[in-house]
Amino acid sequence: MEAIILAGGFGTRLSGCVSDLPKPLAPVGGRPFLHYILDYLYVNGVHRAVISTGYMAEKIENTIGNRHRGMVVDYCREDTPLGTGGAIRKALGMCREEYAVVINGDTFYDVDLFEMQKIHRESGYPITLAAKTINNVERSGFLQIENGMLTGFCEKGASGAGLINGGIYFINKNALDFIDTEKFSFEKQVLETLILPVRVFESDAYFIDIGIPEEFARADSEAEMLKSKRKRRAVFLDRDGTLNVDTHHLYRVGDFRFIDGADEAVAYLKKNGYLVTVITNQAGIAKNLYKPVDVDILHRHIDSLLCEKHSVVLDGYYYCPHHPQAVIEEYRCSCQCRKPEAGMILGAIADFSQIGIEIDTENSFTVGNRHSDLLAGINAGIKHNILVGSDEPDAADIASAYYKSLKDFSDLEQVLKL
Ligand SMILES: [Zn+2]
């Protein structure tokens, strides 16, 4: 899933509280508010976020950078203010998929994006809007909805419960191309005119708008609420011989080569909502053939190759530097991380849980080319453990019920048919 974050506004409503920062960087619970938005998107399966910037663009770009956890971050800068509609359309031009989720940089609304995406896909309409139920619409106005479609807006003045625009949308890539002005308001010129059919997705999830000074004060004391929690599927991927050609104790960047199609397979998984983590034994460290820093550099190189070609990065790299016969004493031990032990996979699961992601072990899998890869998955409670391109003769017995013999990891269709 790709996302667009609208972070180019002037922040006039907040100027009394934080004057030297754009609103999305306003500190909440000690972190820039935008970090909560990025975490939210990441936990909800977004693999790439395009931040639309304008006012204080450089401050935002310097604070956030080009990665957020396992998510690629790119920027779309407005040189002159384009209005919300113009900003969305320009950022959609940088997106590569059929549609993108669009979100305001100054609101947090914990909508389940997987569910909303499903409704957007199934309905076939160009725009889906997330609507939030509130108890009193007196100060905000409310939406009119019939059979799940937006039919109008009511101005302020009414009272009682109603649905308001939550500021999260799925919008098809070319949906706004027909508008012939460069600058336009998405709310006034697209939504309020009903010029395009808009499907409504109702969600009563937690909502806060930090553009309103009282809510900004409340966000600080409720920072714990600004944390999305989702169950996700994951792939725990062996490295040498599975992701890349095994050159035996590979550590030089120049020697790295993806197995044909393996990088496409990673991109496919990421774009379909899987978390993808590398789990690899690196006894070459224990044998003093290379150092942990070499492994880290190689892993950054893998991410930059994936990012350049497919706009994705992996969700983590875990390696075991130990070996029972290590020449370096520090690494000589029988550890809990060297595969077939489960330590690295369990460590990854624990790290995901820290940020609100529970791994759906029933629908997750390990992929490897050795007994030990599969056993590590089985020991960690991962249901599907898949062998690819192995030359180990009795590997099929070890993989038992979930054994699938694939030519290599790129042969994904079979993997996903499990
Ligand atoms: Zn270890």
DSSP state letters, 290-353 = S-HHHHHHHHHHHHHHHHHHHS---SEEEEE--BTT-SSGGGBS--SSSTTSSHHHHHHHHHHH
For range 346-366, the mean pLDDT: 96
For range 191-214, the mean pLDDT: 93
101-116: pLDDT as tens digits: 999 999 999 999 999 9
For range 47-56, the mean pLDDT: 95
119-167: pLDDT as tens digits: 999 999 999 999 999 888 877 779 999 999 999 988 776 788 899 999 9
For range 74-88, the mean pLDDT: 95
Ligand 1 center–CA 297 separation, angstroms: 19
> What is the four-CA torsion angle of 64, 66, 68, 72, rounded to 10 degrees?
140
DSSP single-letter state for residue 189:
I
pLDDT at 238 over 50: yes
Ligand 1 center–CA 361 separation, angstroms: 22
Ligand 1 center–CA 390 separation, angstroms: 23
Amino acid at 255: D
- Let me know if 186 is exposed, middle or buried by CB neighbors in 10 A (0-12, 13-18, 19+): buried
Ligand 1 center–CA 249 separation, angstroms: 16
Quickly state the pLDDT bin for 403 (edges 50, 70, 90): very low
For range 220-236, the mean pLDDT: 93
Domains of the chain: 2-226 (3.90.550.10), 231-416 (3.40.50.1000)
For range 270-280, the mean pLDDT: 95
Closest CA to 229 of 128, 314, 116, 111: 111
pLDDT at 395 over 60: no
pLDDT at 10 over 70: no
Ligand 1 center–CA 337 separation, angstroms: 4
**Which residue did the predictor score with more confidence, 223 or 398?**
223
CA–CA–CA angle 379, 382, 388 (5° rounding): 95
pLDDT for 402 = 41
Quickly state the pLDDT bin for 387 (edges 50, 70, 90): confident
Ligand 1 center–CA 365 separation, angstroms: 21
Using CA atoms, how far apart are residues 223 and 76, in angstroms rounded to an integer? Answer: 28
Ligand 1 center–CA 373 separation, angstroms: 14
Closest CA to 365 of 355, 378, 352, 346: 378
DSSP single-letter state for residue 258:
B
pLDDT at 198 over 70: yes
Asked if omega into 126 is within 30° of 0 (cis), the reply is no
Q: What percent of the chain has pLDDT over 70?
A: 90
- Sequence length of the chain is 418
pLDDT for 274 = 94
Give residues whose Cβ lies within 5 Å of ion ligand 1.
320, 322, 335, 337-338
Residue 250 contacts residue 256 (beta carbons within 8 Å): yes
Strand partners, 359: 232
pLDDT for 415 = 58
User: How close are the terminal C-alpha atoms of the chain, in Å?
Assistant: 22
pLDDT for 371 = 85
Residue 172 contacts residue 99 (beta carbons within 8 Å): yes
For range 185-210, the mean pLDDT: 95
Using CA atoms, how far apart are residues 369 and 266, in angstroms rounded to an integer? Answer: 16
Residue 258 contacts residue 243 (beta carbons within 8 Å): yes
Query: Is 39 part of the annotated catalytic residue set?
Result: no
Give the lowest-confidence range in 17-21, 26-30, 211-215, 237-241.
17-21
Ligand 1 center–CA 350 separation, angstroms: 17
Active-site choice (209, 240, 315, 408): 240
For range 305-329, the mean pLDDT: 97
pLDDT at 397 over 60: no
Ligand 1 center–CA 344 separation, angstroms: 8
pLDDT for 399 = 42
Closest CA to 299 of 235, 250, 360: 250
pLDDT for 346 = 98
- Please give the structure tokens belonging to residue 79: 């040189």
pLDDT for 411 = 62
Closest CA to 276 of 249, 303, 257, 253: 303
Quickly state the pLDDT bin for 400 (edges 50, 70, 90): very low
Query: Is 238 part of the annotated catalytic residue set?
Result: yes
Helix (H, G, I), strand (E, B) or coil at 227: coil
Active-site choice (106, 110, 209, 238): 238
* pTM for the whole structure: 0.93
Q: How far is CA 327 from CA 284, 324, 333, 400, in A?
A: 10, 9, 11, 35
Using CA atoms, how far apart are residues 277 and 313, in angstroms rounded to an integer? Answer: 10
Q: How far is CA 37 from CA 19, 25, 41, 55, 68, in A?
A: 21, 11, 6, 18, 11
